Each structure stands twice: as C-alpha cells, then as structure tokens.
Chain A
C-alpha cells in the first residue's frame, strides 16, 4: 500500500488524537493482560482483590515441569492439533481447488461464502449438531450399523475421535478459505504452459501449484493449529473422561480448583510453546518453499 500519495496534502493534526481510544483499548485489554499473565504465573495460589499478591515463587513452573500429566497433555494437544490441521489440508485442498479452478467463475464467490457459513454459525451450535448426529441411536450410528461396521447403540461420542471430528468440522472452512484465495490467483495460462511443455499432473502440482499456494497453506495452518492446540470446549463437551487437552486443564484451574497462579503458568507455557510451533512452521514452510522453488 502506498500511503504517502493517498494522504491529503494538508494534514489536519487534531485527527491524529483519534487513534487514542483504540490504542488505549489495545494496550489495556490485550497487551497489558498478556504481560500480567506472565507476572501472575509466578504467584502462588489464587488471585483475588482481598488477598492481593503476597509474593512471587517458582512453584508453579516447578510443579509443571515435574508433573507427568502436563507434558503428556501438551504432547497430546499438539498432536491432535497437528492431526486436525493435516485432515483439514487433505479435505480442504481439493475442495479449494475445485472452487478456484473447476467451478464456473460466476459461482465461485457463492461457494466460498457458503463454505464459511458453518464457521460463522456458533461454535456451540456446531458441537450440538454433531453430538445429535453421533449420539448412540443417532443418524450416523444407524448408518454405520446398516453398513455392518458397528452396532447403533455404540457411539463414538465422548472420545478423542469425536473431539477430532468436531474440530475438523469447525476449522475446515478456514482452510478452504485460505487456500482458495491463493489458488484463485494462479494464472490459468501458466497451468496450460506447464501442460504444453509436457508436465504431468503431479509435476504441475509440485512445481507450479504448490509453491504458489504456500502462503495460503501457511495462513490456514496458523489459523487452525494455534486455536486447536488451546481448545477446551470440544474436549469438555464431546470428549470422554480421558479426552482432556491442555486447554481443559487450564480451564479447570480457573473454574473448578481455582488455582489461578498455576493456571496462568500453564497458559504462559502454552503461549511459549505456541510461539515456538509458529516459528517452526514458518521456518519449515520457508525451507520447503526454497527447496521446491516458489
């Protein structure tokens, strides 16, 4: 964006002050709380107005790193997150390609808009809808019984599988959207050229399509991987007793056991790991891009 030339020639100074409300909001309600989260993660026990902060301790971090459950929960959360992201790519890539290159141009926007409707309908309603389908005696279970795979009184609800299904369902639209906006920009002439020059379908995909869709893929991965790793609603509602994720543990610290300092420390560790994961994904994508040549 070229800002300079769009700026009116005579700047009117008082307008500049209009940034203040938004800047204050951003600072006080997003950035400072994140900083406070770090501070509170060194506080022992609960944070309330009456007791205030009595002192700082490393206890929270020590108990996180010495416990056996937290690392395995973290591992599991990132594993589920990885699986959900991969599933979204596998399902979303061909679908995005179909919208961008196969469907008639005038229908494209409609398809994209349609595909984000489920993402904009409330997350809780989606969970509810899928619970209705997956419950024992529900439609999917009856269908599976008809196919002779399992009995309709069984249910995959309240298990890790159900959590993964719900998460894929929730985040798939974002992947389709991110990939579509990249794939759509690929010039059809380039595809024809690759074909004319004798490139097979696989070769065209690897050398032309994939490199050009890297930015969309990256955006999609970020949009999915990070929030999924921190999800707590899905394991709480459709997960079973052993489907806890790290988000559920953090949630428990604030709503059940009220050990807020420990919860803050967990959130802090999660944030740090997420940043590491972000850096890794970014680096990995760049490396892959250079290898394939985009």
Chain B
C-alpha cells in the first residue's frame, strides 16, 4: 500500500465512511424488518414492545408458512437436479472436443442473460401451446433452466482445473468407472458442487418471475405469497418470515465462505435477473 502514500489518510477515511454508509443503507431495511418482527405493534410503529406473537401466528398454520415449506421442498428438488446436471455436463465436457467446450458454456449463458420475465413469457407460450400450461412440471423446468447455469459453471471450472492424476491412479489400480467417480472425482469436485447447489437453491427460492408465470393456479411459493400480501395489505407475520429468511441466507453465505468460495466465484459471470 506504499505506506498510505498513494491514498492520503483523509481519502482513506472518506472511503471507509462511504463504505460504512453504503453497508448501512443496504442493511437498514432488513434490520428494521427483523426488529419489527419482535414488536407488538401491527403497523411497524414505535414504541417498541417485545413479543413473539408474530412467530406464534406464523407457526400456527399461517398461509405464509405453508408457502415457505412448499418453496423449500421445491427449491431443494430443483437445485438437486441442477447440481446433478451440472456434474454430468462438466464430466462429459472434459472428454468432448474443444469446440464443445467453447460453445456449451456460452450457450449456458443464454438463460442468464435473457431477463426472467422474457424467459417466463416464452416458456408460458410454449407450454400453453404444448398443452402443459401452468403446472408444477412447467414451473419445475422453468426454474431448473434458470438456475442450472450457476451450478454448471461452478462445477465446470472446478472439473477443468483439477488434476487428472488421482483418477488415473485409481483407474490403473483397477477401480471401475463408477468407483473412480464416487471415491475420487466426486470428492474432488464436492466443494464446487455444494457451492453450486446452494446458489441454485437460493436463486430458485427467489425466482419470482418464473414461478409467477408458470405456477399452477392455487399453488403459491413464498415470493408469490408475499407478492399477493403486499398488494392486498400487509400481514405482520411477513416480518417473521423475512427474519427467518435473512438468517437462513446469512448462514448459507457463511457456509459458502467456510468452504472457501469468494463472492465473485459464486456469481462468476452470472447474475440474478428480474
């Protein structure tokens, strides 16, 4: 850092303050929601009186909790399939020509670049035309293709940069193809697979646009439920759900950090869309 020379002390302080303010702005609304989830008042007003009543309300059979549970299992299924597809595609690409290795990852970027609204619209048109319409299957496929690139790219870059020697050793020692995969390859790529799986899970959980377009009538994922509630008038147990979601997201991020993934690796060239 040239001992503070290129950046004067005042400049560094100003940057630090700027960062502090930015972080404050980013977290202020979330912090308020968390605070409000423990407040007695229905309309987010002070004075603050501690209560757990909104959590009680939430867990005594509110619609929100039902949607949360549905969203959880749905995202779990989507992200698991997405992780499996990521592994198979990456392993295959390792044996495929240079041309495949150029084209396939580029095409994988298409669902990332096209806005989710347009993706949702075109899928709805296609499924309508095919007679599938809005259904769990449509929603599953739509969400799958939206999150698949993220688990693929993470796994792919790991597979392509890891050393092939351990696998070759295993094969020389007479292990079957499956055995090599289970005992060597999978263990080597596991952190990347886990990171991709977690990213897919989080993204799928929040993939509102596609769920909104493809969910069958009467099925509500959590984002859809919140959307309806926001438009019809607020229920304070949203605060409680929001708090739980924030904590879970935070833990997921912490876990990803622990496995050694930095933020830019996770997003790679990717993005979330709207």
- Among A95, A223, A271, which residue has its beta carbon within 8 angstroms of that of B19? A95
Contact with A along B256-274 (1 / 0, CB 8 A): 1100001110110101111
Q: Report yes or no: B167 in contact with A36, Cβ–Cβ below 8 A.
A: no
Q: Is A138 an interface residue (CB 8 A)?
A: yes
Binary flags per residue of B19-35, CB closer than 8 Å to A gives 1, else 0: 10011011111101100
**What 5 pairs across the A-B complex have the smallest Cβ distances?**
A192-B2, A230-B115, A19-B92, A98-B19, A129-B29
Per-position binary interface string of chain B over residues 231-274, scored 1 when its CB falls under 8 Å from any chain A CB and 0 otherwise? 10010001001100110011011101100001110110101111
17 further interface pairs, Cβ-Cβ under 8 Å (given A8-B94, A120-B253, A125-B242): A1-B157, A3-B101, A16-B95, A34-B114, A52-B129, A98-B15, A98-B19, A120-B249, A122-B226, A124-B227, A128-B234, A131-B230, A138-B44, A227-B116, A267-B121, A270-B118, A274-B115
A36 to chain B, nearest CB (A): 5
Distance in angstroms from B148 CB to nearest chain A CB is 7
Which stretch from A25-33, A60-68, A282-290 is at the chain B interface? A25-33
Flag if A99 contacts B19 (CB, 8 Å): yes
* Total of A-B residue pairs, C-beta within 8 Å: 345
A residues lining the B interface (CB < 8 Å) = 1, 3-4, 6-13, 15-23, 25-26, 29-34, 36-37, 40, 47-49, 52-53, 91-92, 94-95, 97-99, 101-103, 109-133, 135, 137-139, 169-170, 172-174, 176-178, 180-181, 188-189, 191-192, 194-196, 201, 204, 219, 222-223, 226-234, 236-237, 247, 250-251, 254, 260, 263-264, 267, 270-271, 274
CB of A30 within 8 A of CB of B263, answer: no
Q: Given A6-B163, A267-B118, does the pair A228, B257 have CB atoms closer than 8 Å? A: no
* Residues of chain B within 8 A of A267, CB atoms compared: 117-118, 121-122
B257 to chain A, nearest CB (A): 5
**Among B18, B125, B145, B231, which residue has the most Cβ atoms of chain A within 10 A?**
B125
> B32 touching A132 by the CB < 8 A rule?
yes
Max chain B C-beta neighbours (<10 A), residue from A18, A191, A196, A232: A18
Contacts of B69 in A (CB 8 A): none
Min distance, Cβ A198 to any Cβ of chain B, angstroms: 12
Q: Which residues of A contact B254 (CB under 8 A)?
A: 113
For this complex, 10 residue pairs linking A to B, each with C-beta atoms less than 8 Å apart, are A7-B164, A15-B91, A19-B100, A25-B144, A112-B262, A115-B26, A131-B230, A192-B2, A227-B273, A254-B124
Interface SS of B by simple majority: helix
Contacts A177-B267, A191-B6 given; indicate if A49 touches B234 (C-beta within 8 A).
Answer: no
Closest beta carbon of chain A to B137's beta carbon, Å: 11
Q: Name the residue on A nearest B250 (C-beta).
A: A117
**Are B19 and A37 neighbours in the complex by a CB distance under 8 Å?**
no
A112, B274: Cα distance in complex, Å? 22
Which residues of chain B from 130 to 188 have a CB within 8 Å of any chain A CB?
A: 130-131, 133, 141-142, 144-145, 148, 152, 157, 160-164, 167-168, 171, 177
The interface stretch among B48-56, B189-197, B202-210 is B202-210
In contact, A180 and B264 (Cβ under 8 angstroms): yes
In the complex formed, the residue of B with least CB distance to A115 is B26
Nearest chain B CB to A188 CB, angstrom units: 5
Q: Are A21 and B264 in contact (CB under 8 A)?
A: no
Chain B residues within an 8 Å CB radius of A101: 1, 7, 15
A48 to B132, CA, bound (A): 10
Assuming A103-B16, A137-B45, A227-B115, is B85 touching A22 (CB within 8 A)? yes
Q: In the complex, are the beta carbons of B125 and A169 less than 8 A apart?
A: no
